[in-house]
Structure 1
């Protein structure tokens, strides 16, 4: 067990906000919608997506663009946007047209950069949608008419696979896996998910991670299995994770730590936080969340959970991998559970998880924000290294005259690596390939204001689909590099030899943000496509 959280709290109570690392900024005062699903595209735009049956949002669709749905609970003719596109360069918000209900749906980017979006509630339960990002100002949602999900998916999780297809796992009342494009074998039953469903439904939005051996680590409630999707078989059952249920609605979060060369054979899973058992049923809005974390080497022949404690109990926190290999835990509440108006005491302090530090020193409390991000909020890594915070709507409809109002503001949190006193360490990627093949060696040219000391890391992270305290498909891969060699007759420029990931099990095909990292300070990322 790690250092008790009370020790952290006693220490940090004496620190002012200015003493803690990290800074906050307002990116946009009104996105028009409260985003419960968020994804960053390779064109440095952000797709924000809410559900459709909430009545008026605060963003109108273009003139004469309205949804017509006689079954909608509030608006039979709905001329309000429930999805928007945020341009990080121009700061503009553009309304998008979504036709069917995306409430508690799932998503994942395909190998060509298209966002695949699946399921939801009501008329969206079996829908498949696509968003093809573009440089122009005319891309929008497409709802597929020639194919649907084989079964309705609500609260499911998507994971891209080595062959570029997508596994769609679980959902409310669905203990099965299906694939896009559909496989001839159809839907694969996964009784493990049914076994993990108790009266709280804590098997929803299961944590799914593609391991470097090609199997899926699937966690639901308080247990995990290693799942071979090709044969629809359970390869291994993992030990029980102490601390109660972790998935929706108990709402912990999870990441797979960075995969590291040269062989990329080790995968470590971390799961943190959650509600106390039974809180969802009891509607205990003031019941303290727990702050325990479990860490397991999922590829170990005899894996065990190593337990640690965060500085705060946290429910609905978002865990995301930073370009340095550290993980950030942000958003959420210190009491209650996931669900409409079922939480209190917002947890405003982000926490940095440093996986290579010894037990007891891995957690660092960061500078708190001021905007509560409760139920239906998201966090996404941006190419410049900041973290985009969006959403928070703990109410069934939009509601602004309450303690935790529907949140339309977009914020960014800058970790300590972006502080002004480290700016002269920040490298710039000046030369790079736009596409790479598996196992390929290639060069990158990087410049830095100060002379480079040691090896510059080259780390690549994909753009996941963030929703309900879990970033679906998230992964970070640390590439094998040679020392930075100064470029002849060019002050401050270095050539780095890099080797691409060895195969699609380590890095499925698709677009990745590639960062150069100098002494813990990442560059602005370049988008690179990994192809077979």
Structure 2
């Protein structure tokens, strides 16, 4: 079956007999076209069919009966102005109804304000269709209303509107200041006034992601790419739920993406030409919620390509897959992908099949390259790494960064090393102290701290994780086992390695955290839990099915160049309004604030504690309220060790001749499972500053300091950054292709 055929696969019954779904096979019968019925009630949500006494009708409504309707009933009207309403308490609402050539336009209201107009006309008759949904309401009481307009498509004499069912996403009241309803504004904001010292952060809630945000990467000034596993997400494409979407950072609009294979727990990185590769995933799952019925492919060896798409119009952006010709050499679940100094990708580790804690029978202790490299006698095939054997069992999603000398730092479990991929040699580093494990499922977060001109000395920071023994069976691990508050920091010089890891302490323990570099050089630490372990459905004392509990709602700011003991601060911090547990993400945006999304410790979409979370939060540092510098013009490409000019506007009140100025070149990273692959901040050399209006900068020395590919430039004046401007570092050409390796 060719790739285009896969795009036509649609929903079939879970009761169909299935064959093994492996290496691109799909269950028997899943290629038989049927209408996908998007009606799905997540555990913990509440469904009201059209005859529910809580749904109130005004005007003339008639009732129809059919086994094709939810609850076998449907209410419809052709009377202009007829209304239906449902008061509810929660965070979201869905309306299901029918579509055909007799249906017309209805207007949707929430809390008295119009939010949408829905035209249910369709050439093809369909029942149980999701006609409207909204998932980002503040927790509290709301009123949902639909009014039939009496208008319809040309030729429809008396159009109708019908109500088949409504689903209330109940959500949870976590006691935050944003729990009170504030109407329909997508930007729900804390109204605390700013502190006199200017240290006050704010949190705003902006839109929803449409698919659960398991993987996140900024692809352009206007959009983020979000990827999930195969499940019952609320937005659909090609007759099945979508598991990829483009989220507009400015308008919060969401466009579903066509993805063929199961991208559950994939890795990703940009290449030197700006193409994003998304690699690995999970096979077709045949049990429980039967996502196999969605007609997807096995994703374990998948290579998905997303070519550069920087326009604000994303209607032509797409994910390319060709499983017959483009795939990895080996299956990988929970792998990490990083960009190397030549612009290619190194794909590291993982498991040969889905599971939980890794073990020797399924471990994939290798690296491979994209495009493939025929080095060290590999003929383009995977290269064995003893490190990934010695670091069993908790070694999935290794922490890895390209170092300023072109080598690669890796950490997995309690172990760390420097890998010289050009000579295939490992330099083992001191173990992470105190028995703390830092990779899945004892997940911590790692960063390469900012690199500055001069010696570009690399330092690694790893925070959080767990000291749970990775040989302990799941039935002996509890969601109440404490997380670690340890941060470990090492300088990767000969002297620094001899000293070993410096231990610091987070204000609170944190497992599954995200750590985001800010243009100022500080680190914003957010998300995660105070107890338990990553994953779902594996341990005792589960919360819902979450393996973790006690969400850590208070972000922390880490200042790397402050004296030891003074680096952590929570001054002015606003808490998460939403618990962000397993499958949460956070990233810096081009606006220089922090986007936080996701949380889904569940097999499928769920509303139990802790449920599937679609709401987006933006954490805004104090500098967002200040007058900010502006980069008015810069080149499209910047070249290594070459000068280039940017035009700037310096804020009023700043001494234009003697401000403190830094220019940050940043890779915002590919984020999933607390892995911030490729996250990077390199401060550029400022060679001259002309009249406060233009600057001459020098590009990074080489591809080891900043690997060739896309980046973002932020101008930081007296601690206040500009908005980021996208650039291409290097010539924008693709990575070298080894034809002999490719042929293998």
Give 3-state SS (helix, strand or coil) of 1:242's partner: helix
Larger radius of gyration: 2
Q: Quick check: 1:396 aligned with 2:603?
A: yes
Q: Give the stretch that moved more between structures: 185-194 or 270-279.
A: 270-279
Find the counterpart in structure 2 of residue 352 from structure 1: 557
> What is the match of residue 385 of structure 1?
592
Moved more, 230-239 or 91-100: 230-239
**What's the secondary structure of 1:384's corresponding residue?**
coil
- 2:494 and 2:519 mapped to 1: Cα distance? 25
Question: Contact conserved, 2:443 with 2:464, CA < 8 A, in 1?
Answer: yes
**SS of equivalent residue, structure 1 residue 85:** strand
Matches within 5 A, 1:246-257: 246-257=438-449
Match for residue 180 of structure 1?
A: 370
Give 1:238 deviation, angstroms. Answer: 3.3
Q: Say whether 1:203 aligns with 2:203.
A: no
Structure 2 partner of 1:284:
478
Deviations 1:110-131 (A, max 9, x none): 1222110000111100010011
Counterparts of residues 202-241 of structure 1 (less than 5 Å):
202-241=394-433
Cα distance in 2 for residues equivalent to 1:60 and 1:526? 32
Report the CA distance between 1:43 and its aligned residue: 4.2
CA RMSD of the aligned region, Å?
1.7
Is the 1:222–1:242 contact (alpha carbons within 8 Å) kept by the matching residues of 2? no
Report if the CA contact (8 A) 2:688-2:697 is conserved. no
Partner in structure 1 of residue 332 of structure 2? 153
1:147-172 CA-to-partner distances (Å, cap 9, x unmatched) read 21111011110110111110000002
Task: Confirm or deny that 1:57 pairs with 2:233.
Answer: yes
Shift of 1:302: 4.6
Q: Tell me if structure 1 keeps the 8 A contact 2:221–2:725.
A: no
Q: For 1:512 and 1:462, how far apart are their aligned partners in 2?
A: 5
Cross-structure match for 2:707: 508
TM-score, normalised via structure 2 length:
0.63
Once the two structures are TM-superposed, the CA of residue 433 in structure 1 deviates from its matched residue by 1.5
Q: For 1:261 and 1:49, how far apart are their aligned partners in 2?
A: 35
Q: Is the 8 A contact 1:262 1:480 kept in 2?
A: no
Verify the 8 A CA contact 1:280 1:338 in the aligned structure 2. no
User: Does the 8 A contact of 1:456 with 1:483 survive in 2?
Assistant: no
Q: Secondary structure of the residue that 1:339 maps to in structure 2?
A: strand
Q: State the 1:456 CA deviation.
A: 1.4
Report the 3-state secondary structure (helix = DSSP H, G, I; strand = E; otherwise coil) of the residue aligned with 1:163.
Answer: coil
CA pair 215-284 structure 1, distance change in 2 beyond 3 A? same
| Equivalent residues of 1:109, 1:463 under 8 A apart | no
SS in 1 for 2:504: strand
Q: Map of 1:63-462 to 2, 5 A cutoff?
A: 65-66=238-239, 79-122=240-283, 123-134=298-309, 135=311, 136=313, 137-145=315-323, 146-172=325-351, 173-184=363-374, 185=378, 186-198=381-393, 202-264=394-456, 266-278=457-469, 281=474, 282-303=476-497, 304-340=500-536, 341-365=546-570, 366-400=573-607, 402-418=608-624, 420=625, 423-424=626-627, 426-447=628-649, 448-452=651-655, 453-462=658-667
Instruction: Judge conservation of contact 2:436–2:484 (CA < 8 Å) in 1.
Output: no
Q: Which secondary structure does the structure 2 equivalent of 1:197 belong to?
A: coil
2: CA distance between counterparts of 1:297 and 1:271?
A: 12
Deviation at 1:417, TM superposition (A): 2.3
- Kept in 1: contact 2:445–2:512 (CA 8 A): yes
Residue 33 (structure 1) aligned with residue 211 (structure 2): yes
Structure 1 spans left out of the alignment, 5+ residues: 1-15, 67-78, 487-492
Deviation at 1:243, TM superposition (A): 4.0
Q: 1:531 aligns with which of 690, 715, 730?
A: 730
Task: Write the distance in 2 (CA, Å) between the matches of 1:255 and 1:129.
Answer: 26
Q: Which has the higher contact order (CA 8 A, sep 6+)?
A: 1
Partner of 1:396: helix, strand, or coil?
A: coil
**Maintained 8 Å contact 1:17/1:367:** no
